Each structure stands twice: as C-alpha cells, then as structure tokens.
C-alpha cells in the first residue's frame, strides 16, 4: 500500500472529513515529490527543510501549519516514528466575518418562494447549523416533541445538540410524516437524493441577490451561522450559551461574535464614565 492509501485509510478510520483527507493527502504527496527519498529514509531534517523551503516561497502561515500537521500525522500515527518538530507559523490574520442584520435575514428568507428551500434555510439559520450538518440531518436526529435535534459527527467528529425553533415544529412534523424510515435524510431533492452543499449555496446566493442585500455576492450559507451567533449575542445570551450552540471547542473562537454584535448590545462601559 502506498503512503497516500495508508493516509487515506487511517483518516477514514478515524472519521476525518473528506475535505481534511483530501488536504492531508495533498500535503503528503507534495512533500514526497519534493523529497524523492525512500519513505523509510526520510528524517525530521528533511521535513524541516521542506517547511523552510515553503517559508522561503512566502507560503501563508496557515498553509505551512496544515502541511506540518499532515506530515506529523503520517509519520507519527502511521509510520510510528517520532517526528517532533516544534515549529508554529503565524496564521493569516482573521477577517471579521460577514453577517446579516435581523432585517436583512428576514428579507433573505422572505425572498425564497420554494417552501422546502425556505424551510432548509430557516432551519440552518435558526439552529446555527453548518451547511454540511443541514444536508446530513436525518429524521432520527430530530426530537420535535422536546424541541431539539442532534448534529451527528459534526466538525471535529463530535455530536452536539441544537434548538429547533417553535414555529418550525409543525413544518418539520409534516415533513417527518412523509417518511417511515428514521434513517431518511430530512431534506431530499425531487430525485429522492439528499441535497448537495452546492445546491444550498446557490439557494442562499440567489435569495441574497433577490432580497437586494448589499454585496450579495459575499453571502453564503455560513453567513447565516455567523448571523445566528451574532443575533444571540444581541439578544443578551452569554458567551457560554453561544459557544455551546455553535459547538465551539474554545471560547476564543466564539468571542469574535461579540465584536460583530452592535456596540450598544455589548455590556461594557468605559471607565471614563465612572470617573
């Protein structure tokens, strides 16, 4: 079995996402093409020199960090060789995420005339779901009587609970009655297949354009997740509540939504006001 196949099999066994598998394999193959050495003769020095070469070419810090993680995974987890390389490259500065105001969100939703499409987009926004989580949602994951659902094997291969808005309960119940199999996907196309991520992206983009939202070309499904989190902060929910709703591992990741929220919604007063 060649290195790429070994990497793919082990990543699949550990239930990594398809995108991560593709990225890691690409990193490994680029390194092997550069090294041109027998895999058993590759050393820590070879890996370091490769990363330094990437640095010389002004590759982004994120790109080099991912390459390092991929190579460490292969050599340490598959080859069972110590490959400790304590290098951390600075990440590209994070751009503050685009989000919709509550009024813009309503306009976007109202512009979708297909009932099933509208239900998908509303559920994604109202629960803060990622687009991949929406398309993989199954009826068995919904507890409509209690008003919550489960994301199975979400980002980081973790399960998490999400809230189902009360005014979506009836629509989801009707949809659920159309299927006797709890393993069925909640949302299926006219061809009886689960929706593709690309289809959801097109629905959101077209809705943003139709709603005449400024810079509509920048609006995508993840914008709705950003909007969900920002609106929770504006509604005075705690950072801990928002972190749990989004399934974030670190509160620092959630903190960005505090900065997105309207300044008058942030309960911090300048010390000048108390002098």
Mean confidence (pLDDT) of the chain: 82
Are 253 and 137 contained in the same domain? Answer: yes
Residue range 152-158: mean pLDDT, rounded? 65
Q: How many structural domains are present in the chain?
A: 2
Q: Catalytic: which of 16, 74, 225, 226?
A: 225
**Residue 258 pLDDT level (bands cut at 50, 70, 90):** low
Higher pLDDT, 113 or 17: 113
Are 139 and 66 contained in the same domain? Answer: no
Are 115 and 57 contained in the same domain? Answer: no
Residue 40, pLDDT > 90, answer no
pLDDT of residue 264: 44
Residue 89 located in a structural domain: no
User: What is the tens place of the pLDDT at every residue in 115-144?
Assistant: 999 999 999 999 999 999 999 999 999 999
Domain range spanning residue 115? Answer: 102-265
Residue 56 located in a structural domain: yes
Other Cβ atoms less than 10 A from the Cβ of 219: the count is 25
Are 22 and 157 contained in the same domain? Answer: no
Q: Catalytic: which of 155, 160, 209, 220?
A: 155
pTM: 0.61
Q: Catalytic: which of 24, 74, 125, 130?
A: 130
Q: Where are the beta strands (DSSP E) in 52-147?
A: 142-143
How far apart, in whole angstroms, are the C-alpha atoms of residue 232 and residue 227? 9
225 part of the active site: yes
Are 111 and 9 contained in the same domain? Answer: no
Q: For position 237, which CATH number holds?
A: 1.10.443.10
Residue 167, pLDDT > 50, answer yes
Are 168 and 52 contained in the same domain? Answer: no
Are 133 and 234 contained in the same domain? Answer: yes
- Of the chain, the percentage scoring pLDDT greater than 90 comes to 35
Residue range 47-57: mean pLDDT, rounded? 82
Residue 94 located in a structural domain: no
The residue to which tokens 């951390």 are assigned: 88
How far apart, in whole angstroms, are the C-alpha atoms of residue 170 and residue 174? 6
248 part of the active site: yes
Q: For position 50, which CATH number holds?
A: 1.10.150.130
pLDDT of residue 259: 54
């Amino acid at each position: 079995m060649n290195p790429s196949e070994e990497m793919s099999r082990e990543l699949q066994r550990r239930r990594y996402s398809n995108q991560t598998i593709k990225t890691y394999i690409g990193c490994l193959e680029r390194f092997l093409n550069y090294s041109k050495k027998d895999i058993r003769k590759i050393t820590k020095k070879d890996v370091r020199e490769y990363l330094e070469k990437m640095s010389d070419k002004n590759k982004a810090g994120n790109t080099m960090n991912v390459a390092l993680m991929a190579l460490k995974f292969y050599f340490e987890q598959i080859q069972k060789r110590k490959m400790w390389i304590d290098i951390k490259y600075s990440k590209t500065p994070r751009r503050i995420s685009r989000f919709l105001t509550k009024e813009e969100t309503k306009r976007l939703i109202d512009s979708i005339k297909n009932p099933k499409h509208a239900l998908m987009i509303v559920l994604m926004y109202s629960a803060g779901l990622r687009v991949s989580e929406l398309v993989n949602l199954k009826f068995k994951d919904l507890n409509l009587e209690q008003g919550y659902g489960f994301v199975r094997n979400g980002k980081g291969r973790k399960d998490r609970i999400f809230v189902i808005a009360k005014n979506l309960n009836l629509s989801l119940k009707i949809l659920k009655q159309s299927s006797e199999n709890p393993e069925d996907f909640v949302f299926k196309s006219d061809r009886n297949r689960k929706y593709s991520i690309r289809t959801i992206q097109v629905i959101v983009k077209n809705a943003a354009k139709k709603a005449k939202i400024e810079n509509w070309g920048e609006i995508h499904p993840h914008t709705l997740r950003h909007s969900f989190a920002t609106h929770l902060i504006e509604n005075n929910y705690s950072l801990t509540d928002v972190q749990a709703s989004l399934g974030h591992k670190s509160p620092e990741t959630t903190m960005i939504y505090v900065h997105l929220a309207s300044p008058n919604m942030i309960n911090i007063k300048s010390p000048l006001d108390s002098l």
